[in-house]
Structures are given as C-alpha cells and as structure tokens.
Amino acid sequence: MKSADAMNRAFAALADPTRRAILQRLARGETTVLELAKPFRMSQPAVSQHLKILEQAGLISRRIEGTRRPCRLSPAGIDAVDGWLNVLRGALSRNYERLDALLAKTTDAPKEDE
C-alpha cells in the first residue's frame, strides 16, 4: 500500500504543468529555489509550495547550504515512476504480440471457397 500511495503522490505532482516544467529544468542540473522561480509568473513562496509537493512525491530532493536551498531530481522517485510505466509498456507489448499472432493466424487460414 505504501508503494501505491507514493505512486499516487508522484502522478498527482506530475499532473501540474508548473511542476513538470520545474522537473524539466532540474533535468539540466541542480539549482536553487530562486533560480527555479525566475521563469514563472509567481512568487518564490508559490514555487516553494510546488517544490514541497515534488519533494513529498519523492521526485526531487532539497538540501540546505547556508542560505541557499539547492534542488535536484531524486533518482529513486524517477526510477519508481519509470518502473511502473515499464510494467505498462510490457503489458502493451504483449497485447500487440497477441494481436499480431491473431492477425497472422487469420490471414494464413485457408479460405472456405478455396
């Protein structure tokens, strides 16, 4: 159940376009809250709220470095989401393989009027 709760938090966090943009920026490397806030038309506290949600979802981590609060992607959180998506990719692939086999079987079957 704990894993399902974590996944729910991760996908809820990813549902917001601002948070996805923050993650995209963090994909280029660690940066501070102030740097993350620059491209957005919102206050630094509002960006901090988004960061708090991303951190609770396990998608980012923050550390204290004097007065700076650098943020970075959290590999464990990203890997968990990717692992869940890989399960779905595998199921989708198996579905296509079954469909391909069925189509091959129906196209290879002799027609009744032959």
Task: Return d(Cα 59, Cα 11) in angstroms, integer.
Answer: 10
Domains of the chain and any CATH numbers: 2-108 (1.10.10.10)
Supply the pTM of this predicted model: 0.77
Tally: H helices and E strands in the chain: 5, 2
Q: What is the pLDDT of residue 100?
A: 87
DSSP string, 22-72: HHHHHTT--B-HHHHHTTSSS-HHHHHHHHHHHHHTTSEEE--BTTB--EE
- 21-49 pLDDT, tens per residue? 999 999 999 999 889 999 988 888 999 99
- 76-98 pLDDT, tens per residue? 888 888 888 898 899 888 988 88
Beta-carbon neighbour count of residue 25 at 10 Å?
A: 15
